[in-house]
Structure 1
Amino acid sequence: MPSACPLLVSRLITGFAALLLSLAVYAEPRLLHSEPSPFGKILVFEDNGERCLNFNSVTDLGRQTCMDIRHPDALVFSYTRMMISALFVHPRPQHILIVGLGGASLQKTLAKLLPEATIDTAEIDPGVARVAKEYFDYRPGPKQRLFLEDGRLFIENAHRTGQQYDMVLLDAFDVDYVPRHLMTVEFLEHVKAILKIDGVVVANTFTNSDLYEQESATYAHVFGPFFNLRQGNRVIVATREALPDPATLKDNARAVKDKLVPFSVDVERELDRYAHIQTQGTAKVIRDPARE
């Protein structure tokens, strides 16, 4: 008859391992960095295997950025995967503008997917820029250009000087929501003006905002029908000209499918979201205060 001791030891080891895992999951976040900012205290912390950036509180579920420490290429948030899926609409952008830096998830991902592309970023907060470099491996350079200024001012100047982009990604948030001056008809008209003929704008917003219907009406007013992607956040994908048809989307998705695997993007799942097209609503559009 075999001894019961090895079985008992095995069960003890298993139980101890489960206890350690439970403690790791429920441990308090470990604060790495904190600094004041005019836009909210900047916090960098590690929690459950992820390094995150947030404003004011580590317990706020609306985190700005999280990076999987063991798999840093994986896109942790569904909204970043939805935004990257805009490559189904324009698979080979060569000149990209991103408004908002955060932990540089979009910047680093697009740089790896499109090594020949030039990626400009407009970030208003120098503190966020320092944190992105020190804690999230963001490396500005000739192809990864950083401009420390308000995104609207950058876009207005780009319009005035005739700059053109294949893709503009809007990912700017303050503590609560998208700054209002980055939501208006007048702002979006500047965005449209700096897009090339086949250009695309991609905007990260919320699904549970009181401004949801007004946002929809505002984007539709400037761009016409747009793709309305939803999971947690809402990502608006609009084009300067007509939206591509389903066959084109599918062909473009197939072309980038293998490249997206290391970034945890499920191409079929993301492609399904493009069945949802938003058209002009009845809500009042959002305008600059002087135009209201």
Structure 2
Amino acid sequence: MKLDPRRFRWAALLGLALAACSAVLVTYSLSGSLAPRLVHTEPSEFAPVLVIDEYGQRCMNFEKIKDRGRQTCFDLSAPEKMVFDYTRMMTSALFVKPDPRNVLMVGLGGATIPLALEKILPDAVIDTVEIDPAVLRVAERYFGYKQGPRQRVFVDDGRAFIEQARREGRTYDMVMLDAFDVDYIPPHLLTREFFQQVHAILSPDGVLVANTFTRSTMYERESATYAAVFGDFFNLRAGNRVIIASRGPLPDDDALKRHAHALAKALEPFGIDVERELQRFSRHRDWSADAAVLTD
């Protein structure tokens, strides 16, 4: 039986057309799943707290679905893995102080760092102070945060909490500052007087860790203010800037490497590559010597 070559040509064209339609449908489906989806809006006296799913991530934001950045995100398929460089940099403060018994976190957000520290430091108590109860409600309902004996939260202003801790003689081995409002860090958490309060509640070799901006009109004055209270500090930069200062002397490079390698296995599930993080530890002063210190 003789076969008509036109049949094969039409069959091939039909197959290509069907494949193209299939590809369009798959692309449409993927693009639909990647578009931001508002999961929840939590009313707040400060700013509405939004929960958004996009690009396979769950994120928290204030006021708007789209703006300059996200407050918190986690990967829905790998919740432990840290999405942002700044959370990895802040956690790498353990290279400076690898065995804190108690940690104070100012600013809860989606609780990425408190939840990680609970697993990395099985004997430590993590206290978090969060000014907005709406953020706490969202963290508990949508981001897996749970309070307990080792994971405590206090609804209060960060500075007021620290000042009260000083009056009561309470100290922390590590204080982590990650408090942002819609625009930037609240001004009363950026002054010399505030950092003096933080310095006072640190244990003798306690460590301050602060998340701030790499590019800011306040960069030089912020830097000068930290230096006025703590002296030299580590200046880590990748997207955001993370400042790591100590009440005692900063460890040398060998000590940093030793602590980092000892923690490597514990940090791996969170996507923290210790070699990459070590490269970010800079002691360089990159601000003007005559920059004015921020005061109350």
Task: Calculate the TM-score normalised by the size of structure 2.
Answer: 0.91
Gap regions ≥5 residues in structure 2: none
Using the alignment, how far apart are the partners of 1:15 and 1:264 within structure 2? 34
| Coordinate RMSD, CA, aligned | 1.9
* Residue identity opposite 1:282 in structure 2: D
- Between the aligned partners of 2:179 and 2:101, the Cα distance in structure 1 is 22
Candidates 226, 229, 235, aligned match of 2:236: 229
Q: 1:227·1:278 contact (CA, 8 Å) conserved in 2?
A: no
Equivalent position to 1:123, from 125, 130, 150: 130
User: Are residues 1:21 and 2:33 paired?
Assistant: no
Q: How does 1:85-96 map to 2 (within 5 A)?
A: 85-96=92-103
User: Is contact 1:227–1:274 with CA below 8 Å preserved after alignment?
Assistant: yes
Q: Contact between 2:210 and 2:244, CA under 8 Å: does it hold in 1?
A: yes
Q: Which residue of 2 aligns with 1:265?
A: 272
Secondary structure of the equivalent of 1:116?
Answer: coil
**Pick aligned residue for 2:189 from 173, 179, 182:** 182
How big is each residue's C-alpha offset from its partner over 1:224-270, in whole Å with a ceiling of 9 and x where there is no partner? Answer: 01111111111100000111100000000000011111101121111
User: Runs ≥4 in structure 1, deviation > 6 angstroms?
Assistant: none
Deviation at 1:19, TM superposition (A): 4.2
SS of the residue 1:214 aligns to: helix
Q: C-alpha distance in 2, partners of 1:6/1:260?
A: 53
Q: Is the 8 A contact 1:40 1:55 kept in 2?
A: yes
Answering whether residue 159 of structure 2 is matched by residue 152 of structure 1, we say yes
- Larger Rg: 1 or 2? 2
Q: Which shows bigger deviation, 274-283 or 163-172?
A: 274-283
- Aligned counterpart, 2:293: 285
TM-score scaled to structure 1, two decimals? 0.92
Match of 1:244 among 230, 241, 251: 251
- What is the CA–CA distance in structure 1 between the aligned matches of 2:185 and 2:242, rounded to whole Å? 13
2: CA distance between counterparts of 1:226 and 1:84? 16
- 1:44-66 Cα shifts (integer Å, max 9, x gaps): 11111111111110101321111
Would the aligned equivalents of 1:43 and 1:58 in 2 still touch at CA under 8 Å?
yes
The sequence identity of aligned pairs, in percent, is 55
1:1-292 to 2 correspondences below 5 Å: 4=12, 8=16, 13-14=22-23, 16-25=25-34, 27=35, 29-278=36-285, 281-288=289-296
SS in 2 for 1:52: strand
Report the Cα distance in structure 1 between the residues aligned to 2:234 and 2:65, rounded to whole angstroms: 32
With over 3 angstroms needed to count, the CA separation of the structure-2 counterparts of 1:259 and 1:6, relative to structure 1, is farther
- SS state of the match for residue 52, structure 2? strand
The answer to whether the 8 A contact 2:59-2:74 is kept is: yes
Give yes or no for contact 1:226–1:279 (8 Å, CA) kept in 2.
no
How many correspondences in the alignment?
286
